[in-house]
Structure 1
Amino acid sequence: MRLLHTSDWHLGHRFHGRQRHEEQGRFLDWLVELVEERAIDCLLVAGDIFDTTAPGSRAQALYYRLLHRLAASSCRHVVIIGGNHDSPALLEAPRELLRRLDIHVIGMADGDYGKEILQLDNPQGKPELLVAAVPYLRDRDIRHAMAGETLEDKGRHQREAIRAHYRDICRMAEERRRQIDPGLPLVVMGHLFVAGGRTAEGDGVRDLAVGGLDRIEATSFFADIDYLALGHLHLGQLVAANPCWRYCGAPLPMSFAEAKASKQVLLLSAQGREIAVEPIEVPRFQPLASVRGDLPTLLRELDRLRTTNAPIWVELVYEGDPTIPDLRDQLLAAVAGSELNVLRIRNNRIFDYVLRQTEQIESLDDLGIAEVFERCLAINRIEEQQRQMLRAAFAEIVDALDREPEQIGGPR
C-alpha cells in the first residue's frame, strides 16, 4: 500500500500582501499528478488546509476542486484532519457527502472517539490500514475549565488532556487492530507542537494554546505506532529521531527565511507493518530570494537576479553601517522595468518594515498580529516577566477570535 503524507497547505495565505492562489493551485495540480504517477492508495492531510477559519471563495474553490479530482483518481482513500487555522464547522459541513467518496474528514474532537478511528479497506473489501485521525485539540473540546485556574494551570491541564486523548485513541486503535489483524499497520495523525520541534523565522507557526504550554513530549505517543503523521510545524523533520514519526512540513515556503529551503511531501510504502519513507521534493512554483549585505552587495545581487528574467519575489536586508537616506529609492530603481518584485525591505540599522512595491511606509496590513503585539510591548517597555504573561493572554484571545466566525455563522 502506498500513502502520501502532506499538511499545512494554508490555502488563502497572503505572502507579504501578495495573493498565492495561482501558486497554490499549481501545487495542488502537481499533487494530483503525483498521486496518479506514484499510484497512491491513500492521501493523508494533517491539518491547516486553510489559512483562516473564514477562507475566501477562491481558497475554497481550490480545495473542492482538488477533492473532486482525487475522487476521480486512482487514490482510494483521503483522510483529512482539521488544524488550528481551520474552521471545524466548515470542514465537517460536507462530511457525510465526502464519506461516500471515501474522503474522510475529521474537523474537530467532539467526544466520539469512534469517528477518529478509521478502518480503510482494499478493493476486495478486506482491512488494509487503521488510521487514528486526531484533529487539532482545542481546549474546549477535550476538557472542562476549572474555576480559579491560572494560566499556568490551564496550560498544564490542557497538556494533560491532550496526552490523555492520544493515549485513549491509541489504546482503542490497538485493541481494534488485535481484533481484526495484529499485522495491520496503524497510522496516527495529529496537528500539534511536539517539544523540540524546529520552526523558521516568520513562518507563521504560533503556539497553539496559552503561552505554548501545550507542547507535547514525544513520549506521549505509543511506541507501537507504525507511522506518526503530524502537521503544524512548517519545516519537515523527524520526531524523537524516529524515521517513521514525522512532520512533512508545509509544501510552500511560508516566509523568506525558507527562500532556499527544500519543501517536501512524504511517500510511505507499507508492507504489513513495515513502512518505508521517501521524501519527494515539491517544485518551487514561485521563486523567492532573500538578499543581505551592504548597498553595493544588494545592488550587485539585484543585477544578477535581473538577468534570470524570472518573476522573483525579493526580500532585501540592508546590513551596512552608513545611514543612506535614499536607500529605498536606490533599491527600487535597481529593479525598475524587471520581473523582480521587492516585497520587503529591512534596514537592520534603523528599523524593520514590510514594503508593498508601490508603498513608502509600513501599514498594519503588512504586519502579522503577533508582530504588532510585540512592537506594542517594546514601545511600552514592558518588563520581560510581564511580557510572558501578556503573550500567553494574547495567544488565548487570538485563538478565541479565530473561532468566533464559525460560532456566529460567518465572518465579522
Structure 2
Amino acid sequence: MRILHTSDWHLGQHFMGKSRQAEHQQLIDWLVQQVDEQAVDAVLIAGDIFDTGSPPSYARELYSQLVVRLHGAGVALLLLGGNHDSVSTLGESRALLACLSTTVVGAANDPQAQVVVLSRRGGLNEPGCVVCAIPFIRPRDVLQSLPGQSAQDKEQSLQAAIQAHYTAVFDAANTHRAALQAELGHALPLIATGHLTTVGASTSESVREIYVGSLNAFPTSAFPAVDYIALGHIHQPQKVGGLDHIRYCGSPIPLSFDEVRQTKEVLLVDLNDAGLQTITPLPVPRFQHLASVSGNLVTLAEHIQTAATQGTPECPVWLEVTVAEDDYLSDLPARIEAMVEGLPVEVLRIRRQRGNAAAALAAAVRETLDELSPHDVFERRLAQEELADDLKLALQKRYRQVVTGLQEGQS
C-alpha cells in the first residue's frame, strides 16, 4: 500500500495581493502525474485544504478538479479538516464526494466516523490500511471549560482531552481492523492523522496559533501506537521528536517568504502487512519563484540581479527586500523600484531591518491600538528580536499564561 501524504494546500490564498490559482493548478497537474508514475494507491491531505472558511469559487473548482481527476485515476482520496477549514464547507459535499472515492472528515466528533479504510488502487475495494482519520480538534469538540481553572489547568485539560480522543478513535479503529483481518486472513497496517503543533516542531510566520491561551504543543508520547502518523499544520517538512514514523510533510508551495529556502515535498509512505516499510520524500517543483534579499543599498542591487535570473517577463519573481543600514531613508520604495526597473521581478514587500515592526504599526492605515489585542502587540514586539525558535515559543507560552491569569482575575 502506497500513500501520498500532503497537507496545507491553502487553496484560495492571496499572497500579499497575489492569487496562487496558477500555482495550485500546476500543483494538481503535477500531483496527478506523480500519482500515476509512482503507483500511488491513496492520497491523504492532512488539513488546511482551503485558506479560509469561505473560499473563492476558483478554489472550490480546483478542489473539485482534484477529486474528479484522482477518482478517474482509480485512487482513493482522504481529506481532513484543518484550523483554516470550515467544517460546514467541507461537509456540504461530503456525501457526493463519497461516490467519487473521496472521504471527507471535517470535524472531530464521533470516533466511529473517524475510522476510514483506504483501498488499494483500481477501485477493487481491496483494503490496504485502516486510518484513525483525525482532523483538527477544536477545543469545543472534546472539552467543556470549567469556571475557576487556571491557564495551566486548561492546558492540561485540553491535552488530556485530545489524547483521550485519539485513544477513542484508536480503539474503534483497532476493533474494525480486527474484524477486517479475520475476514481477509492477513494483517492490515494502522495509521493516524493529525492537524496540530507538536513539541519541538519548527514553524514559520504563516503558521497560525491554534490553541491560543492554552495548549501550545502536543507531546509525541500522547499519540497512539500506530505504524505511521501523517501530520499537517506545520509548513516545514520534518520528523517529529526524531521519530521516523511521525512526519510533517509541509506545505507543497511556500506560503510566506520565510519558507522560500525550504525544499517543498510530499511523502510517499509504503506500508504492508508488517507495517511501515519506507518513507520517500518527493520534491515539489517551484511553480512560482519567490526570493527574499537583504542588505544595504550597495549590496542589494547585486542580490536583486541574482534573484532576477529565476524569473521571466511572463512569470516574474515575487520579491521581498529587507534594507539594512540605509533603512532610515524615507524614499526607500522609490530607490528599490529604480533598482528593479526592467528586471523580471515584482517587489511585494519592503522591510526596514531596524524597528520594522514598530514602523509597520505606526504606518498601518486605519489600525490603532484599540484594534489590536494584547497578544497582537506582544507578537509584533517579539518579532523584532533575534531569538531562537524554542525561546520564542517559551516566551509566547508564558505571555499567554500571564494574560489569561489577569483576565480570570478580573472576571
The TM tier, using the shorter chain, reads 0.7 to 0.9
Aligned to 1:284, the other structure's residue is in SS state coil
2-side partners of 1:21 and 1:65: how far apart? 13
* Cross-structure match for 1:193: 197
Structure 2 segments unaligned to the other structure (5+ residues): 383-394, 406-411
Paired AA for residue 295 in structure 1: L
2-side partners of 1:36 and 1:138: how far apart? 35
Q: Is the aligned partner of 1:347 residue 2:352? A: yes
* Cross-structure match for 2:271: 270
Matches within 5 A, 1:251-266: 251-266=252-267
Matches within 5 A, 1:14-163: 14-75=14-75, 77-110=76-109, 112-122=110-120, 123-163=123-163
TM-score (ref. length: structure 2): 0.84
Q: Is the 8 A contact 1:270 1:276 kept in 2?
A: yes
Paired AA for residue 106 in structure 2: G
Deviation at 1:391, TM superposition (A): 6.7
1:174-227 Cα shifts (integer Å, max 9, x gaps) = 233233326211110111111111112x2x21221133515210001123x111
Change (3 A) 1:217 1:308: closer
Change (3 A) 1:228 1:264: same
1-side partners of 2:73 and 2:24: how far apart? 20
Q: Is the 8 A contact 1:344 1:353 kept in 2?
A: no
* Cross-structure match for 2:282: 280
Change (3 A) 1:83 1:287: same
Paired AA for residue 22 in structure 2: E
Paired AA for residue 271 in structure 2: A
* Cross-structure match for 1:305: 307
Question: Which region of structure 1 is more displaced relative to structure 2, 5-14 or 214-223?
Answer: 214-223
Question: Which region of structure 1 is more displaced relative to structure 2, 96-105 or 269-278?
Answer: 269-278
Aligned match of 1:183 in 181, 187, 193? 187
Deviation at 1:251, TM superposition (A): 0.6
Aligned match of 1:324 in 310, 325, 329? 329
Aligned to 1:146, the other structure's residue is in SS state coil
1:139-169 Cα shifts (integer Å, max 9, x gaps) = 1111222233344433321111001101121
Q: Is the 8 A contact 1:347 1:353 kept in 2?
A: no
* Cross-structure match for 2:291: 289
Deviation at 1:369, TM superposition (A): 8.0
Deviation at 1:61, TM superposition (A): 1.3
Aligned match of 1:373 in 376, 380, 398? 376
Q: Is the 8 A contact 2:114 2:133 kept in 1?
A: yes
Deviation at 1:128, TM superposition (A): 2.1
Count of residues in correspondence between the two structures: 378
Change (3 A) 1:295 1:243: same
Q: Is the 8 A contact 1:54 1:87 kept in 2?
A: yes
* Cross-structure match for 1:248: 249
TM-score (ref. length: structure 1): 0.84
2-side partners of 1:124 and 1:342: how far apart? 51
1-side partners of 2:11 and 2:22: how far apart? 11
1-side partners of 2:168 and 2:196: how far apart? 17
Deviation at 1:350, TM superposition (A): 4.5
Change (3 A) 1:261 1:354: farther
Question: Which region of structure 1 is more displaced relative to structure 2, 332-341 or 275-284?
Answer: 332-341
1-side partners of 2:84 and 2:359: how far apart? 23
Aligned match of 2:400 in 363, 369, 388? 388
Q: Is the 8 A contact 1:155 1:209 kept in 2?
A: no
Q: Is the aligned partner of 1:6 residue 2:6? A: yes
Q: Is the 8 A contact 2:151 2:214 kept in 1?
A: no
Change (3 A) 1:268 1:63: same
Q: Is the 8 A contact 1:227 1:275 kept in 2?
A: no
Q: Is the 8 A contact 2:4 2:269 kept in 1?
A: yes
2-side partners of 1:332 and 1:326: how far apart? 10
Paired AA for residue 141 in structure 1: D
2-side partners of 1:9 and 1:376: how far apart? 25
Paired AA for residue 149 in structure 1: Q
Q: Is the 8 A contact 1:244 1:275 kept in 2?
A: no
Paired AA for residue 345 in structure 1: I
Q: Is the 8 A contact 2:130 2:189 kept in 1?
A: yes
2-side partners of 1:370 and 1:264: how far apart? 35
Paired AA for residue 97 in structure 2: L
Question: Which region of structure 1 is more displaced relative to structure 2, 153-162 or 287-296?
Answer: 153-162
Deviation at 1:387, TM superposition (A): 4.9
Change (3 A) 1:90 1:265: same
Question: Which region of structure 1 is more displaced relative to structure 2, 284-293 or 29-38?
Answer: 29-38
Deviation at 1:118, TM superposition (A): 1.3
Paired AA for residue 118 in structure 2: L
Q: Is the aligned partner of 1:314 residue 2:354? A: no
Deviation at 1:271, TM superposition (A): 2.6
Aligned to 1:210, the other structure's residue is in SS state coil
1:65-89 Cα shifts (integer Å, max 9, x gaps) = 11111111131x1111100110011
Q: Is the 8 A contact 2:212 2:400 kept in 1?
A: no
1-side partners of 2:126 and 2:41: how far apart? 14
Change (3 A) 1:370 1:18: farther
2-side partners of 1:209 and 1:288: how far apart? 30
Q: Is the 8 A contact 1:188 1:228 kept in 2?
A: yes
Aligned to 1:338, the other structure's residue is in SS state coil
